[in-house]
Every structure is written in C-alpha cells, then in structure tokens.
Chains A and B, each alone.
Chain A
Amino acid sequence: GAVVSQHPSRVICKSGTSVKIECRSLDFQATTMFWYRQFPKQSLMLMATSNEGSKATYEQGVEKDKFLINHASLTLSTLTVTSAHPEDSSFYICSARRPTGWTEAFFGQGTRLTVV
C-alpha cells in the first residue's frame, strides 16, 4: 500500500509563533494533497486541497493567510500555521492522492499541535 509520512507527530509551540508541518508521499507521486483538521471526538474537516505547482484551494471559512500551504514537489506538501494561538491547537492530518485515475487518498499519521 501507499505510504504517506507526516512530520512532526507532535509539536508544542508558544502563542504567536509559526509552525510548519510536512507531508510526504513516500512511494508515489502525489499531484494532489489534502489537509484536514480534527478536533477531539469529531470528524475530519477538510481545510484545503493542495495541487503541485499551483495555489491551494481553501475551503470556506479557512484563512489562507493563517494556514499557508506549499506543494512545491510531487512528494512534499507543507502546512504552516502562522502566528499560532491556543484555538489553533488541534490534530492536523494530511493525505495524498495517487495520480489521475485513483481516488483513494492515503493518510499521514497526523500532527498533534498544542499552542501554549
């Protein structure tokens, strides 16, 4: 099966600082990656769709300047939470989709962000 690696798995940062989360597809080239946010005991909420070489498509209500997404290569997408605040504390999960013809999205292990 496909492997998607997310790093770091846990991060604690001070309020006002920025945090970068990496998502890598290890055994296939991912033209599309997705970023989700999950609060405790809740479902995954799609934040944005990241396309290699172009701007990400953000879902309604997600601040583009707050959550910066860069998909510079076919195997790496990054999510940067800028000027983090305690309410940004959450579980962030990325997924990567195989190239055209496949619709399964394989998930990373998730990143637990705690802003203090």
Chain B
Amino acid sequence: GQQLNQSPQSMFIQEGEDVSMNCTSSSIFNTWLWYKQDPGEGPVLLIALYKAGELTSNGRLTAQFGITRKDSFLNISASIPSDVGIYFCAGQPRETSYDKVIFGPGTSLSVIP
C-alpha cells in the first residue's frame, strides 16, 4: 500500500549547522508537502511541491520533488533553536481516486544552542 519513509528518524545538531532530511516512497506521488509540528499543535505547512524536479525555497528552507516522483528532500540552512520540532513529509498518492494526503513517520529535530 501507500507508505512513506523518512530519514533520519531523529537528529541532534548544533545551532548554525545545516540540516538535510528526506522522504521516500515505493509508489509515485503527485504532490509532496513538508510540514513542521510543535508539541500539542497541528502541523504547519512549510513547502508544497507539485512537479517532478521542482526545487522550492521558503526562507532558510529548501525542498525538492524527486525526478522519479518517489522521493523528496528538505534542507534547512543555518539552523536556529526555533527550528526544533517534528518535520513530516506528506504526499498525495497518484493512484488514489479521491483527495487524500498521507504522512510519513516524521523526523525529530533538536538544535543545541
């Protein structure tokens, strides 16, 4: 079935370092979305990707839609303490007959000041 995998599961970095995380799937996705979730809150959309190969930036964040349409990565440059949180990739599987967005397991990011 449709399933997303994210790596790494968790990461601890020094403030100022760059961060890279990725998301893979065994099936093709039409859309890739990256969200950040703080404890006790709903996820907040960071970046949306619609076309294979698309590279999109949002401030210090950059994400790309993989050419195979089965993967995506998110980079965060010059991390700061407020980047701490859970980062989820999400996607819209190609084969679904109705609107549906499924989520990966998340990457937990900790930033050490």
Contact = CB atoms under 8 A, between A and B. Distances in A.
B112 interface: no
Contacts of A97: 99
Interface in B89-106: 92, 98-106
Interface stretch (A13-21, A80-88, A101-109): A101-109
Contacts of A106: 45
A49 B99 CA distance: 8
Contacts of A34: 99-101
Contacts of A42: 105
B45 A44 contact: no
Interface in A1-54: 1, 4, 6, 32, 34, 36, 42-46, 49, 51
Given A32-B99, A43-B104, A43-B105, A110 B42 contact: yes
Q: Which secondary structure dominates where chain A touches chain B?
A: strand
A4 B45 CA distance: 12
Contact of A108 (B42, B92, B102, B103): B42
Contacts of B99: 32, 34, 49, 97, 103
Contacts, number: 60
Contacts of A107: 35, 42-45
A6 to B, nearest CB: 7
A57 interface: yes
Nearest to A97: B99
Contacts of B44: 107
A115 to B, nearest CB: 18
A109 B92 contact: no
Centre residue among A1, A43, A107, A108 by max chain B CB count within 10 A: A43
Interface of B: 30-31, 33, 35, 40-45, 48, 50, 88, 92, 98-106
29 contacts: A4-B42, A32-B99, A34-B100, A43-B88, A43-B104, A43-B106, A44-B43, A45-B103, A46-B100, A46-B101, A49-B100, A51-B98, A93-B42, A95-B42, A95-B101, A97-B99, A103-B30, A103-B31, A103-B48, A103-B99, A104-B33, A104-B45, A104-B48, A105-B45, A107-B43, A108-B42, A110-B40, A110-B42, A112-B40
